[in-house]
Structure 1
Amino acid sequence: MPTRYDIVGGRPLQGTLRVSGAKNAALKMIVAALIADGTTTLHNVPRITDVEITLKLCEELGARYRWRDETTVEIDARNINNAVIPLKYSGSTRTPILFVSPLLHRLGKAELTTIGGCSIGPRPINYHIAGLRQLGAHVEEISRTSYRFQADRLHGNIINLEYPSVGATENLLMAAVGARGRTVIRNAAIEPEILNLAGMLQAMGAVVYQDVNRTWIVEGTTRFRAVEYEVMDDRIEAASFAACAVATGGEVLVKGAIQRDMVTFLDWLRKVGGEFDIYPDGIRFYRQDRLRPVNLETDVHPGFMTDWQPPFVVLLTQAEGISVVHETVYESRFGYVEALVSMGAHIQLTNDCLGSRECRFTNKNYLHSALISGPTLLRGGTLHIPDLRAGFAYVMAALIASGESQIYGTEFVQRGYANLIGKLREIGADISETPVETAESP
């Protein structure tokens, strides 16, 4: 049954919590487990909806899985026998396209219909398809949303990505490890989660390494052993709680927050007036002074991560002055702003590029820049979550706001944040979860 979050805001968050394993790494590593001929064990896997969906998808393809404990899952891929990626999962997550590469290795074919995920922009699969074709896959477009892939064995090639897409880079890495010869992927994504995936592929028997200028080099092989591997901690979740601590004027020790994975976020948090102390097992976040406005642009790693943007915008509503945020990764990322305005935030969106960074959305009619004027006293309200990261932004806004808030669409947040209610209660949030009938949703 759907649920609603009931939040009473206006109190500083204080205490200690532990972040979960990274959603953006765990999903891809579960998919990569299908390449191995045996049982792979993954540790630090978050218990979130997207992970459960991905495991069910593995099961539909012939794999078996079991949870050994709360965060350890075993995946037995020896009996993969179905090349059709089920349509019923395609509307709820972006992961299905990534199954194409393991299926090409195991069965020589794959069939995919449509894809889904959060409504933050189209995120087409053209980069995936173009790269797989360069590796020798025959791709047949059955319909506008359905594709059939075939390849006896992929072969290495030099691939120049038009944009450093995270998903396309991950898919092509998984394709290249089983291809004949060498593959060079240029202008690729180099996020920490991709390094986590590459490390797992290397442990499985692949030769895969990062070269200069956003380049990955892969030497193909045919034998992949099952491994035991650990998912990295979630730097997006860590940043989310950090922003909450600073915005509410509290002090929170986030265990599992790793400095090397959050350097850019930490710099911008300090610029806006937040502060932090580094410890061996985490980072303590707090505010020393008033919050200051900034001019910020999102970008691919090592730039400011687009998934950090929504909670940071909420933080900027509490800064003294006018801040500018230029979104260069997803054209519709600011879909959550209207709800913040209804709570009293002063945010204006424009289709102009309010920044110096090269932007794919220049001269296009996308509202991808925001001007945020603060500080603003937010008021509690009734909100409906449109996507995962916006969901946490709404929760954070409700924690800052005076009065009570009711937040619907919590299934979006549960896609990426494990035990969110429990973690927030650990640091003093007044939050509860109530089952609701669909008709109750606004």
Structure 2
Amino acid sequence: MNSIATSVSAPHYLIRGGAALNGEVKLSGAKNAVTKMVIASLLTSEECTLRNVPLLGDLYLTMKLCESVGSWLRLDDHTLTLRTENIDKTSITTEVGGLNRIAVLALGPLLHRCGEVSIPAPGGDRIGPRPINFHIEGLRQMGATIVERDGRYYCTTNGRLRGATIKLPFPSVMATENFLITASLAKGVTIIENAATEPEIVDLIKLLQKMGAIIELRVDRRIVIEGVEKLHGASHTLLSDRNEAVSLAIATYLTHGDVYLRGAQQDTLLTFLNTLSKMNLRFDIDDEGIRFIGDTTPPPAIALETDVHPGFMTDWQQPFTVLLTQANGMSVVHETIYEDRFGYTSALIGMGAHVGLYSKCLGEVPCRFREKEHLHSCVVSGPTPLKGTRLDIPDIRAGCSYILAALCAEGESHVYGIEHIERGYEHLDAKLRSLGAHIERVEEAVTASLN
């Protein structure tokens, strides 16, 4: 068979480093909340309205998934209205459910409404194994029969799902969200032990409560849900995206700028702000947002450990490591959430950073990876000038760290794989441009062969 040459578009960012960021930008709604709320709307046949939704790839994927099972949706600026009067289809295709892990959250709602559902094995960022066994075992405890076959999960239930006591081996955010959504309509009481308690989870609980759910946050990471017979429609305004806030704040410090982030919420950023204070980095908080003020003095080195909320968030680790390349002295970062989240540092080394990776636990937080061979500790020596280069993004947070590094690097950087950024951030390049960054989206034609 003859091959056919075709031209495909491969956009990338061209970034010229060195420009200080100055001005004001409004934060988007939380990426890690919006998709879960869209799925939660499947629990009712009535209309739900979500305000302050971020316009990004993960939202569109989740909307497509809901549309494929029968939802009606209308997106007007940053307000999403959706209604699922009937479930028309219970088999979620790979095209709408295989690109991230959101389809696993649809299991509970579709089992409640139809008694059966099948989903593809999930995809997502390449940051190490992210199995869904926590989800599957918990749903089985609630009465679901789940069979894995040919890359799909086939789920059925004989009657209504029932409450259960589910003890998570680790405070998994998405597993906690899954059981919150599913237990809201389950018969009886569900107790989630060792639950995650991130701000996005609390925001999901607020929406579910507005829909008629009965959910209590107890001490010692326990969440108790009393199942109800029926949920109704509701309206909710999402909290702002704390990951976007951290990324833009660090970009400000890296470029010695002065930026006000409207909508930044102190209560969701407490640990991050405390870490900035330890490094003598300036910020001012008011009722409407937070101003981040950089200068040319290198901040001191620091020892940092990621942890479950309210600890230092694992998604903040990559951008903060870039900041540490410009700190004065030897910094240590201990990653306790994911075992393989330092792969991006090889690109920083290529830009001139001094970074070493270690399998030992260089910290005090109890760590699942102790005595294992995972490179989950990092030592950064600085300050080191960074040089522009070509960068290929492997996942959302690493990709953002590449952009931050390029913003403070000398010369030009070409950043590829920007679909990861556009899946997780709303118009990040445009926001950076509005603050004075030299970043442009370049459309590049690439010739590919089709056999």
**Residue of structure 2 in register with 1:60 after alignment:** 68
**Residue of structure 1 in register with 2:6 after alignment:** none
**Residue of structure 1 in register with 2:271 after alignment:** 264
- What are the Cα deviations for residues 38-87 of structure 1, in whole angstroms up to 9, with x where unaligned? 121110111101100110010111112111x2101111111212111211
**Residue of structure 1 in register with 2:130 after alignment:** 123
3-state DSSP of counterpart to 2:143: coil
| Partner Cα separation in structure 1 for residue 340 and residue 216 of structure 2 | 33
Change (3 A) 1:438 1:198: farther
| Partner Cα separation in structure 1 for residue 446 and residue 48 of structure 2 | 39
* 2:360 is the alignment partner of 1:352: yes
Query: Deviation at 1:304?
Result: 0.4
| Partner Cα separation in structure 1 for residue 413 and residue 298 of structure 2 | 26
Unaligned runs of 5+ in 2: 1-8
Query: Deviation at 1:287?
Result: 2.9
| Partner Cα separation in structure 1 for residue 441 and residue 221 of structure 2 | 43
3-state DSSP of counterpart to 1:319: coil
Determine if contact 1:85/1:99 at 8 Å carries over to the other structure: no
The residue type equivalent to 1:221 in the other structure is: V
The 4+ residue runs of structure 1 with deviation greater than 6 A are none
Query: Deviation at 1:439?
Result: 5.1
Matches within 5 A, 1:197-346: 197-287=204-294, 289-346=297-354
- What are the Cα deviations for residues 174-216 of structure 1, in whole angstroms up to 9, with x where unaligned? 1110110111111000000000101100100110121101110
**Residue of structure 1 in register with 2:3 after alignment:** none
Determine if contact 2:45/2:84 at 8 Å carries over to the other structure: yes
Determine if contact 2:298/2:383 at 8 Å carries over to the other structure: no
Query: Deviation at 1:90?
Result: 3.7
Query: Deviation at 1:365?
Result: 1.9
| Partner Cα separation in structure 1 for residue 401 and residue 100 of structure 2 | 20
Query: Deviation at 1:272?
Result: 2.2
Query: Deviation at 1:275?
Result: 1.4
Provide TM-score, normalisation by structure 2: 0.95
Query: Deviation at 1:438?
Result: 4.1
Query: Deviation at 1:91?
Result: 3.7
- What are the Cα deviations for residues 4-58 of structure 1, in whole angstroms up to 9, with x where unaligned? 1011101221111111000000010000011111121110111101100110010
| Partner Cα separation in structure 1 for residue 10 and residue 30 of structure 2 | 24
**Residue of structure 1 in register with 2:152 after alignment:** 146
**Residue of structure 2 in register with 1:31 after alignment:** 39
**Residue of structure 1 in register with 2:392 after alignment:** 384
| Partner Cα separation in structure 2 for residue 438 and residue 260 of structure 1 | 46
Query: Deviation at 1:228?
Result: 1.1
3-state DSSP of counterpart to 1:333: coil
Query: Deviation at 1:157?
Result: 1.3
- What are the Cα deviations for residues 226-265 of structure 1, in whole angstroms up to 9, with x where unaligned? 1111111101100110111112111110111100000001
Aligned equivalent of 2:141, options 117, 120, 134: 134
The residue type equivalent to 2:354 in the other structure is: H
Aligned equivalent of 2:81, options 74, 79, 93: 74
| Partner Cα separation in structure 2 for residue 6 and residue 273 of structure 1 | 32
| Partner Cα separation in structure 1 for residue 138 and residue 211 of structure 2 | 23
- What are the Cα deviations for residues 128-147 of structure 1, in whole angstroms up to 9, with x where unaligned? 0111111111112224x321
Determine if contact 1:273/1:287 at 8 Å carries over to the other structure: no
The residue type equivalent to 2:57 in the other structure is: T
| Partner Cα separation in structure 2 for residue 314 and residue 107 of structure 1 | 48
Aligned equivalent of 1:436, options 423, 444, 448: 444
3-state DSSP of counterpart to 1:252: strand
The worse-fitting range, judged by mean Cα deviation, of 428-437 and 374-383 is: 428-437
| Partner Cα separation in structure 2 for residue 388 and residue 112 of structure 1 | 24
Unaligned runs of 5+ in 1: none
The residue type equivalent to 1:167 in the other structure is: M
| Partner Cα separation in structure 2 for residue 437 and residue 350 of structure 1 | 40
Determine if contact 2:360/2:376 at 8 Å carries over to the other structure: yes
**Residue of structure 1 in register with 2:184 after alignment:** 177
| Partner Cα separation in structure 2 for residue 50 and residue 44 of structure 1 | 15
Determine if contact 1:81/1:107 at 8 Å carries over to the other structure: no
Determine if contact 2:98/2:120 at 8 Å carries over to the other structure: no
| Partner Cα separation in structure 2 for residue 270 and residue 392 of structure 1 | 23
Query: Deviation at 1:416?
Result: 1.1
- What are the Cα deviations for residues 296-331 of structure 1, in whole angstroms up to 9, with x where unaligned? 110110000011111100000000101000111111
Provide TM-score, normalisation by structure 1: 0.97
% identical aligned pairs: 47
3-state DSSP of counterpart to 1:415: helix
3-state DSSP of counterpart to 2:424: coil
| Partner Cα separation in structure 2 for residue 417 and residue 272 of structure 1 | 27
| Partner Cα separation in structure 2 for residue 212 and residue 2 of structure 1 | 50
- What are the Cα deviations for residues 401-436 of structure 1, in whole angstroms up to 9, with x where unaligned? 011111011100001111112110111101111112
Residue-pair matches, total: 438
**Residue of structure 2 in register with 1:100 after alignment:** 107
Matches within 5 A, 1:103-114: 103-114=110-121
Determine if contact 1:292/1:321 at 8 Å carries over to the other structure: yes
- What are the Cα deviations for residues 106-129 of structure 1, in whole angstroms up to 9, with x where unaligned? 111111221011001111001001
> What's the C-alpha RMSD, in Å, of the aligned pairs?
1.2
Determine if contact 1:93/1:116 at 8 Å carries over to the other structure: yes
3-state DSSP of counterpart to 2:146: strand
- What are the Cα deviations for residues 134-168 of structure 1, in whole angstroms up to 9, with x where unaligned? 1111112224x321111221111111111000000
| Partner Cα separation in structure 1 for residue 446 and residue 348 of structure 2 | 23
The residue type equivalent to 2:177 in the other structure is: E
